[in-house]
Amino acid sequence: MGLFSKKVIDEFECTVWGTNYTNENGTSRQSYIAKLKVGNDLLFKPAPTADYPDTIGVFTKKGEQIGFIGYKDLNKMRGLYLNNKASVTVANITHSDRGLGVDMLIKIYK
């Protein structure tokens, strides 16, 4: 049974943090965000730094880091959905005086 044939048990939006920073390899998160469209798939994977070793980064399907998930949202998922499958997509691209931002739609499946 495929992921999307399973029942959605929760769905929520949250913000990608750190979108205006440069990645450790010198690439611009803003340039990656500028190429995104609502509905694009995103991925979570570890992205530790010296100051924040528990950081979970938010990446495009091509592996380009656009920021990280906030600890409050990450702890919610860890606490409630540790053993569940999930999907993450771009819900909205935001524009502010600090640059481009991303809101994610996270769906949790049973």
CA dist., res. 75 & res. 33, Å (int): 25
Residues of the chain with pLDDT under 70: 1-5
Residue 94 exposed, middle or buried by CB count within 10 Å (0-12, 13-18, 19+): middle
pLDDT at position 92: 98
pLDDT at position 1: 45
pLDDT at position 5: 63
